[in-house]
């Protein structure tokens, strides 16, 4: 990109004026900015500019021994700020489908900059992402990009005038699987679907925290900020349920009638013990209806492989409790 010398001079003067007014920490550390003359004609080297970028068409990509030395300072008015005054190399990443990527440029060079954009030349002010720094690797992580072509440029804030050697790694982020359906009450598992009254649930296996029993005024007496799993059971008026849980985390168990207002509709809750303790609730249904059992824990992020035991002594001999009662026959 040829820039008129007058324009360049004005830009340099403006740049110096800005620097004088607001020299940031990086600029103080960097010292005087060098000047790499901008390339005025194509270098005919693959990677030297947007007309002939290095194409990456599949992931993961691991390009070792890369450099931008000898590629020319083709782009010096990009979103990289000071970090585009050196020589630059351009990569084009072609994505056939929406992909979330991590880009890592590892190097021992100093004052390096990396940009990601969907236009080439890169947008002069706004890119999709940049990462710059006086030392260490450059990384742009967790960028979800629609199908299409994207450009990655590696540059420097002179001096140094270029990056003698670096590795460029682009990997696809595989998103975690969605939480189990019974992470929330809409997918609560009917307790009567179990063939045994004892089952396990790994609260670390994708479950999240959706329900909190509240603090000291709540039905467990504490917050229940841990990952939670939900189960449900239909109780006739007067039917009883006893449920207990134990695991390596500080468990909490509670029973509610309306998950949308879980803490307010809690009818029984327990958080009496700490890690490896057993928490037990017992409840006699005040009214017929669906009740939701929340297998939970005290601390944020806490979880473990948890054993749940359901005991369902019926209120009297004449009342039945479907499958769960059948467990005890």
Q: Write out the residues near Ca ion by the rule CB under 5 A.
A: 73, 75-76, 84, 88, 155, 183, 208-211, 224, 228, 250-251, 271, 273, 296
Q: How far is the CB of 171 from Ca ion (least distance, A)?
A: 26
CB nearer Ca ion, residue 117 or residue 271? 271
Query: What are the tokens at 279?
Result: 């928490």
Q: How far is the CB of 322 from Ca ion (least distance, A)?
A: 25
Q: How far is the CB of 113 from Ca ion (least distance, A)?
A: 9
Q: How far is the CB of 84 from Ca ion (least distance, A)?
A: 4
Contact 54, 150 (CB under 8 A): no
Extended beta strands in the chain, E state: 54-56, 61-66, 89-95, 99-106, 112-117, 129-133, 138-145, 148-156, 166-172, 189-190, 198-202, 229-235, 240-246, 251-256, 266-270, 278-284, 289-297, 305-311
Query: How far apart, in whole angstroms, are the C-alpha atoms of residue 26 and residue 59?
Result: 34
CB nearer Ca ion, residue 171 or residue 208? 208
CB nearer Ca ion, residue 81 or residue 323? 81
CB nearer Ca ion, residue 49 or residue 88? 88
Contact 90, 47 (CB under 8 A): yes
CB nearer Ca ion, residue 95 or residue 304? 304
What DSSP string describes 202-243? ETTSS--------STTSSSSS---S--EEEEEEE-TT-EEEE
Interacting residues of 101 by C-beta distance below 8 A, sequence separation 6+: 59, 93, 143, 145, 170, 171, 172, 173
Q: How far is the CB of 119 from Ca ion (least distance, A)?
A: 16
Q: How far is the CB of 194 from Ca ion (least distance, A)?
A: 19
CB nearer Ca ion, residue 93 or residue 180? 180
- The three-state secondary structure class of 67 is coil
Beta-sheet pairing, 129-133 with 54-56: unpaired
CB nearer Ca ion, residue 117 or residue 250? 250
CB nearer Ca ion, residue 224 or residue 257? 224
Q: How far is the CB of 275 from Ca ion (least distance, A)?
A: 8
CB nearer Ca ion, residue 51 or residue 62? 51
Query: How far apart, in whole angstroms, are the C-alpha atoms of residue 14 and residue 9?
Result: 9
Query: What are the tokens at 278?
Result: 């057993």
Q: How far is the CB of 201 from Ca ion (least distance, A)?
A: 11
Contact 310, 197 (CB under 8 A): yes
What region does 238 belong to: left with phi over 0, alpha with psi -120 to 50, or beta? left
Q: How far is the CB of 209 from Ca ion (least distance, A)?
A: 4
Query: How far apart, in whole angstroms, are the C-alpha atoms of residue 325 and residue 329?
Result: 7
């Amino acid at each position: 990109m040829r820039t008129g010398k007058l324009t360049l001079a004005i830009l340099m003067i403006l740049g110096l004026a800005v620097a004088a007014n607001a020299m940031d920490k990086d600029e103080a550390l960097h010292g005087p900015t060098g000047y790499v003359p901008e390339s005025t004609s194509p270098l005919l080297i693959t990677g030297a500019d947007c007309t002939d970028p290095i194409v990456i068409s599949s992931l993961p990509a691991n390009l070792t021994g890369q450099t931008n030395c000898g590629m020319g300072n083709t782009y010096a008015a990009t979103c990289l700020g000071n970090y585009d005054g050196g020589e630059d190399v351009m990569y084009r990443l072609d994505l056939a489908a929406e992909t979330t990527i991590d880009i890592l440029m590892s190097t021992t060079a100093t004052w390096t900059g990396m940009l990601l954009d969907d236009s080439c030349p890169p947008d002069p002010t706004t890119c999709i992402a940049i990462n710059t720094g006086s030392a260490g690797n450059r990384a742009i992580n967790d960028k979800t990009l629609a199908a299409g072509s994207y450009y990655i440029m590696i540059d420097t804030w002179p001096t140094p005038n270029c990056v003698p050697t670096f590795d460029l790694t682009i990997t696809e982020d595989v998103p975690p699987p969605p939480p189990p359906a019974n992470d929330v009450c809409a997918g609560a598992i009917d307790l009567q679907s179990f063939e045994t009254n004892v089952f396990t649930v790994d609260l670390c296996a994708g479950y999240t925290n959706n329900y909190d029993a509240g603090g000291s005024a709540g039905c467990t007496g504490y917050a229940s900020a841990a990952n939670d799993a939900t189960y449900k059971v239909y109780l006739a008026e007067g039917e009883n349920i006893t449920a207990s849980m134990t695991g390596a985390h500080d468990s909490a168990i509670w029973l509610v009638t309306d998950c949308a207002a879980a803490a307010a509709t809690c009818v029984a809750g327990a958080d009496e013990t700490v890690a490896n303790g057993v928490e037990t609730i017992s409840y006699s249904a005040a009214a017929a209806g669906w009740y939701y059992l929340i297998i939970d824990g005290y601390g944020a992020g806490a979880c473990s492989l948890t054993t749940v035991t359901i005991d369902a002594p019926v209120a009297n001999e004449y009342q039945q409790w479907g499958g769960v009662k059948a467990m005890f026959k």
